Amino acid sequence: DQQIPMLLVERQALNEAMEGEKDGHYHMPETRGLCLSEEQTVSSILKRPKIGENRICGVRTHPQKLTRKCEVTAILVLYGLPRLLTGSILAHELMHAWLRLKGYRNLSPEVEEGICQVLSHMWLESEVMPGSRNIPSSSTFASSSSSSFPSSKKAGKSDTEKKLGGFFIHQIAHDTSSAYGEGFRTANKAVNKFGLRRTLDHIRWTGNLLM
């Protein structure tokens, strides 16, 4: 099993990490998460800001050297986002990590981003929609990484958070971009019809999605 660091970072650090990547992966114009493959030094969040006496104390960061021990160096997520959005980004980036660790190579943006968006969508559904399909168990992705998908704690959800989660689900489902939108809809159709495991096996051998 591989230990993959997962770090919260500020926008500047995320942008700098993207520029340092050489894999040529497709990124959204407003990237909020990143699966790193190159060795880099990244400034991660060390301490949350404190609010007191009518002022906000700044966020403390520290440089962290990320050493490449496998196909994935680290997963970075933009700091300060809502819990559900952070979790969906983590699910997406962890799927990227799993694909790299398991040797999936040269996938088109539509296929790779599409299947990663399916995992993001599944995690959100499991959080805000009772009885919906759950994210894969750790056994489904055994021996890929010691990092698991964000945990689901369904108790105590507020109506506001459920509505916010519904909004994020709608965003994924109705994205107009080729890679994230059409890719998701094609991948989601395949997973709904054939299941995640069979869809992933098909991607491994053909580089395409089951239709």
Q: Would you place residue 185 in the very low, low, confident or very high pLDDT band (cuts 50, 70, 90)?
A: very high
Window from 134-138, 170-174, 183-187, 204-208 with minimum mean pLDDT? 134-138
Cβ neighbours of residue 15 under 8 Å, at least 6 residues apart?
A: 31
* In the predicted structure, residue 147 carries a pLDDT above the cut 50: no
Q: Which residues contact 156 (CB under 8 A, 6 or more apart)?
A: none
Predicted pLDDT at 59:
60
- Asked if pLDDT for residue 166 goes beyond 90, the answer is yes
Say how far apart CA 94 and CA 193 lie, in whole Å. 23
Give CA–CA dist 98/16, Å, rounded.
23
- Distance CA(37)–CA(23), nearest Å, equals 8
pTM over 0.85: no
- Cα distance between residue 160 and residue 158, in whole Å: 5
Q: What mean pLDDT comes out for the span 94-115?
A: 93
The arithmetic mean of pLDDT across residues 32-54, rounded, is 68
What pLDDT band is residue 82 in, cutting at 50, 70 and 90?
A: very high
